[in-house]
Structure 1
């Protein structure tokens, strides 16, 4: 099956997804198979929260729109143009997916199929519905894809390579079980923001998107701030109030109450605005509803620290203080060529 046909199928999927937004769904009569999939997808989005309490319609719509914007002909061509794809016999690649945010494993799925391989997917119990639905749409668009896509609920078997995502603990098991196969094993990572005190309120409102999108559950969510000594939090908290409604979501509120109580019982000093806490801490991984912060004495020393800790970091956000950093508000809008853990998935797949 030609790569151009597969690309066309994913572009068609992007057009399908573009019909669905949090501000309202608008059917496009030019989209293929809407009679089978349009209403069913709306129903699935509305039911997602019953499958995973964190998957509110707003969060699922955001993920859907992000992929609608990514799956264009221009983006896919720009992404794949840097690679030479050999005409090898397709291999079978097993995927073990996380389920922390909606469609978190879609990029790996997309990469395997467009690389010419077959994919066997083991879904997370926290996200079992969305990707199989999109796979069914792809197969409706191009029935030949059916032989390339398999979902399994049991043990992964009969595969040539594997991409597995999990915690640091599960990664140790993955590394043992898959040591004899080509693999990418993804562990816990966190994202940080570096501020210098010259940020505008708009910058900080955008930073709030990096903190609160998906309730802070993603590895691309900012969980740690690096601040200059003497930083004034006034403007920061003014900007964060734009996201105050998050406390009305019960699961988030429960985490806020619990984590705040744990901190206070441990006699930690906190900054608190009634829906998020800030705690001075050298760690990168903060609990839901909390962001850690740490002061830095010089940008150069901080750059050295971040370089030394790069294996723990997914994204660095700043206004250019750190080279190759991401602009505020953009962490949850990665490009197709922004690889998780900075591991080039396509290059790995070409070489297996």
Structure 2
């Protein structure tokens, strides 16, 4: 007998919604994973059963993102926050500089960590404009001798997203794509390193994906702890120590779901339709809803806005909660409303929220 499941409209910014079919499959395989008599969480990470899961997840990610052969795919731990330190630790060399583009809180944190390891500077910043936009490509002031240029592709707190990426030539381009990886097609070959926490579009929290060009690995600093070297994990297929096996299993199943959905083109088209529903409600409100991001920098993953007064915002959020919309409070640093429309958030959820916005305005104008 199949139990009736009561699901909310989950707009959490992360950990975020997972595909329902993936959760159902995980539920079915939880106790006896594919005839092993054990849960996937009980399998040895050295076993053939887990090795197949691990390698298939890597293969699926390479296929979906069209990752060239001269890149390694790593499954690490510690989230993007650990990458803020690992990147300069590995690549910021003595006597050289690295450039950072400041577009929000996460780029600020990455910059602060990098300062602990060497010389860094800001190649551009939109902080003076309250992080409402992404810098124009011709506004990026980095140097050809820089060790790398670091960007944050999508800004969850402020609701901005890069629409195109710079061609940096010989300067390695590094991107934190935690909140929009797998949401659209990208040219991986533009980047020397991409990193992303899994808990937005890839799976549950606990796994960090790193896509790194092999020649960059060869240039890394060597006098650092073994576990903090990318080369350690590349040489050992991310199995140097016990990996987050269940998280990687779930990541693999999310990738299978993405493939069955039609791949990145289909996902990108759906994400655009979902975000448009809510942006249209903002734009047609005659200023009742005030979007934070400039239109040319709007994120398709995190939609941020305010209402005309704090009292209205509180009423809006209270009623949204009662109607089953979860996770729509803005980040504590800026307040307001934030609707995260990651891959696994259904179109119907965004449609329902858009209708709620329109109805709320009619009733509270």
Q: TM above 0.5, one fold?
A: no
Q: TM-score range by the shorter chain?
A: under 0.3
- Whose helix proportion is higher, 1 or 2? 1
Q: TM-score, normalized by length of structure 2?
A: 0.27
Q: TM-score, normalized by length of structure 1?
A: 0.28
Higher relative contact order (CA 8 A, sep 6+): 2
